């Protein structure tokens, strides 16, 4: 059974940093396309970062470029999201997700292309 388990969410002050972790069970992270999404209250789920299985190429939505970094550890079978210079508008529940449908990177922001999701971890950034 495929499972994704997020951890690392916390309450942090603006300007601070957090590292989110996504533990993959039942799959090898380097063989699958993995993304981080977030969802704030009253808003749609937003794709913020994506790492391709092939080559490990990474992508970011504009609002987090230069502040967030996605990475993976193939030995630990984990995917991470390093978040720096956090802002109050980064407050959301963060999810990692796996896609078996994406063959490239054009549509990585679309939640409906992901078939496995974690339970989410709450990130709250205070001003």
At which residue do the structure tokens 């799959």 appear?
A: 27
- Which pLDDT score, from 0 to 100, does residue 112 have? 95
Order the strands of the 68-73 sheet from edge to edge: 3-7, 18-25, 78-83, 68-73
Token representation of residue 80? 């991470």
Q: Specify whether the CB–CB gap between 116 and 5 falls below 8 A.
A: no
Q: What's the Rg (C-alpha) of the chain? A: 13
- Distance (Å, whole) CA 108 – CA 49: 9
SS3 (DSSP) at 58: strand
- Which pLDDT score, from 0 to 100, does residue 22 have? 98
Low-confidence ranges of the chain (pLDDT < 50): none
- Which pLDDT score, from 0 to 100, does residue 105 have? 78
Tens of pLDDT, residues 83-113: 999 999 999 999 999 998 887 778 999 999 9
């Amino acid at each position: 059974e495929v499972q994704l388990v997020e951890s690392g969410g916390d309450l942090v002050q603006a300007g601070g940093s957090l590292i989110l972790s996504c533990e993959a069970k039942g799959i090898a992270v380097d063989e699958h396309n993995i993304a981080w999404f977030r969802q704030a209250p009253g808003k749609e789920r937003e794709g913020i970062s994506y790492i391709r299985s092939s080559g490990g190429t990474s992508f970011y939505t504009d609002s987090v470029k230069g502040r967030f970094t996605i990475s993976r550890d193939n030995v630990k079978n984990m995917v991470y999201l390093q978040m720096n210079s956090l802002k109050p508008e980064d407050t959301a529940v963060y999810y990692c997700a796996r896609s078996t449908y994406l063959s490239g990177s054009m549509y990585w922001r679309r939640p409906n292309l992901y078939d496995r999701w974690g339970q989410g971890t709450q990130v709250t950034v205070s001003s």
